[in-house]
Structure 1
Amino acid sequence: MPLTFDMPFDELVAYQGTNPRPADFDDYWARALADLENQAADVEIVPAEFQTPYARCADLWFTGTGGARVHAKLLQPTRPQGPAVLEFHGYRGDSGDWVSKLPYVALGHTVAALDMRGQGGLSTDEIPVSGWAMATYLLRGIDDKPDNLLYRHLYLDTVRLARIVMDLDGVDPDRVGVTGYSQGGGLTLACAALVPGVKLAVPVFPFLTDYRRAWELDLEENPYDEIAEYFRRRDPMHRREDEVFTRLGYVDVQHLAPRVRARTMLTVGLNDRTCPPSTQFAAYNKLTCEKSYRVYPDFGHEDLPGTDDEIYSLLATL
């Protein structure tokens, strides 16, 4: 295997991460899940304008933590076979076109694609935060109490969506898979960690892991460049550096990874300067479930040939 710009491959597959894990990490997520239970879901499923002869397409709405109304595209085959697929999109993106979900519907799978709150889709974001909120999702809430970190709420949105889908008629709760690229890859791991019943997780070059390592590499690539921008504007002498990264540790998926029970397949490009390979392997190496990885030595944060086909073939086995 060739060298990566990041570290030698034999070190990648042993690397255990750099970003600190808060001492009360487990209590934090126990409290977060309890907060979700205390928020009524208020689920609403409304037929969508887009329809096909072999699927019922609907806008699914639910209430997440903080009272935000969260949206997902929901497609249910007219003859569901039991499996379901949850899709999570990339940073600042949205749930994508309806037609992109139809190959799974043709298999008899239910599909739900989440719009992350405050980003490019229809979900709202109604939680005010104090402090830093300059054109960023990653660090939103960093100067507020840890419970107001935006990604805490986004991870819980994936949990709520998974639970709603698992309860739908025609869905077997033991046959649910999750997938996504970049931010969607990180959310895939977070969802699988926080919903133990997820059977299969297929993240592609996941974001949201090992923040300090990404910052130390100083690649000046969006979205991790937001950390450098924060220090330049709010802490130019880095007096709070340890505090900042410890707080980000609450929403670092490498620390959630040991909770994943789903069979997991990671896909990574070794020349990825947006989500460096070491940050991805920091999470992968902490997985204790059945796992495998696919490596593209010459590719970065871009289309990886054959990956969509591989994901489809794997999720077809649910």
Structure 2
Amino acid sequence: MPSVDMPLKELKKYKGINPKPADFDKYWEAALQELESQDLNPQLIPADFKVPHAECFDLYFTGVGGSRIHARYARPANASPDTKHPAILHFHGYTGETPPWSELMSWTSAGYSVFALDSRGQGGLSEDRGGVSGTTWRGQIIRGLSDSPEKLLFRQIFLDTVALARIAFDSPEVDENRVGALGGSQGGALTLACAALEPRIKRAAPRFPFLCDYKRVWELDLGEKAYEELQYFFRKFDPCHEREEEIFTTLGYIDLQFLAPRIKAKVLLATGLMDTICPPSTQFAMYNRIKATKEMIVYPDFGHEDIPDFDDKTYEFMMGL
């Protein structure tokens, strides 16, 4: 079986090597308390996109730190609290943006609402107010790494996924017992983060998730493309790796393998064994820690790319909400 990583037999047992911060759980409990105190102030603005079978809106809300966050929200036409229906949370890949409205219509056609987040500071309409010391260039994994752990940007992005989920749960037309999340790469990571931090999520379908086991990425010498900012940070700010343990421990706060045990949703995950962007071992490090009902579909000949077969399986999986 082809692979760019360890053999599949070893992958199924692998638990990761990135250090976990001693106060990890307290860190995320404090983060959730901060979100609880944040007035989300959601606002729906009718979108220019018009179709007969759906109502489409630009959704804005205020995330932690005061950034105004954007999402696309589409629901079946004539939706009402009397006919509650399931909902999907959609998360996009690194540096990207929400998919076009037409791509979201497969969900509304099936009678689902869909909420698609624009991650702050990336390609969409969400604000990123910043406010960190240290470098803000060459990537968001390292943003805040020279400041306090509370300033890590992915902490704020993870909390944005929870805020979006809570808005979905509070929507009168949405059945709060039938909400799922999905996405690929960064979107897969945010799917997992959302399911870990918002236990009411019922189904999660991540595809080759990002943001797992950073030290393993480094040791594989695959700190390129999506993870190239790790190489940049060491070369620029710690060229002799004198602070290596400290840096990777701080990154542990936003390492999905340590949030994975909190997930209660049913999980369907896809990984390609030829993935050189998010190496398979990093994904297994996270997956092997999930305690909820789970299934991983392995694609031996696929890398970090579209997997149409999994797209269809994801759709069928979410029809079970």
TM-score bin, normalised by smaller chain: over 0.9
1:164: which partner in 2?
167
**Pair 1:269 & 2:268 matched:** no
Q: Take 1:61 and 1:75, find their aligned partners in 2: how far apart are those partners?
A: 13
**Pair 1:152 & 2:155 matched:** yes
1:64: which partner in 2?
63
Which range moved further: 144-153 or 45-54?
Answer: 45-54
TM alignment of 1:89-108, pairs within 5 A: 89-108=92-111
Q: Residue by residue, what CA displacement relative to the aligned partner does 1:68-87 show, whole Å, maximum 9, x if unpaired?
A: 00000000112545100000
Q: Take 1:6 and 1:79, find their aligned partners in 2: how far apart are those partners?
A: 50
Alignment-mate amino acid for residue 253 of structure 1: L
1:132: which partner in 2?
135
Q: Take 1:219 and 1:127, find their aligned partners in 2: how far apart are those partners?
A: 28
TM alignment of 1:148-227, pairs within 5 A: 148-227=151-230
2:287: which partner in 1?
284
Q: Take 2:300 and 2:114, find their aligned partners in 1: how far apart are those partners?
A: 31
Kept after mapping to 2: 8 A contact 1:271/1:299: yes
What CA RMSD, in Å, does the superposition of the two structures yield over aligned residues?
A: 0.9
Identity of aligned residues (%): 52
Q: Take 2:171 and 2:279, find their aligned partners in 1: how far apart are those partners?
A: 38
Q: Take 1:41 and 1:137, find their aligned partners in 2: how far apart are those partners?
A: 23
2:54: which partner in 1?
55
Q: Take 2:12 and 2:107, find their aligned partners in 1: how far apart are those partners?
A: 32
Q: Residue by residue, what CA displacement relative to the aligned partner does 1:218-269 show, whole Å, maximum 9, x if unpaired?
A: 0242111210111001000111100000000000010000000000011000
1:315: which partner in 2?
318
Q: Which runs of 5+ in 2 are unaligned?
A: none
TM-score normalized with structure 2 length = 0.97
Q: Take 1:220 and 1:175, find their aligned partners in 2: how far apart are those partners?
A: 38
TM-score normalized with structure 1 length = 0.98
1:242: which partner in 2?
245
**Pair 1:43 & 2:42 matched:** yes
> Which structure 1 residue ranges, 4+ long, deviate > 4 Å from structure 2?
none
Alignment-mate amino acid for residue 134 of structure 1: W
2:50 aligns to what SS in structure 1? coil
TM alignment of 1:287-302, pairs within 5 A: 287-302=290-305
Q: Take 1:195 and 1:207, find their aligned partners in 2: how far apart are those partners?
A: 19
1:231: which partner in 2?
234
Cα drift, residue 37 of structure 1 = 1.1
Q: Residue by residue, what CA displacement relative to the aligned partner does 1:22-50 show, whole Å, maximum 9, x if unpaired?
A: 00000000000011111111110110000
1:31 aligns to what SS in structure 2? helix
1:82 to 85, 88, 96: 85
Kept after mapping to 2: 8 A contact 1:186/1:203: yes
2:56 aligns to what SS in structure 1? strand
Q: Take 1:117 and 1:230, find their aligned partners in 2: how far apart are those partners?
A: 21
Kept after mapping to 2: 8 A contact 1:3/1:9: no
Q: Which runs of 5+ in 1 are unaligned?
A: none
Kept after mapping to 1: 8 A contact 2:43/2:60: yes
Aligned pair count reads 317
Q: Residue by residue, what CA displacement relative to the aligned partner does 1:39-68 show, whole Å, maximum 9, x if unpaired?
A: 111110110000211111000000000000
Which range moved further: 249-258 or 35-44?
Answer: 35-44
Kept after mapping to 2: 8 A contact 1:141/1:150: yes
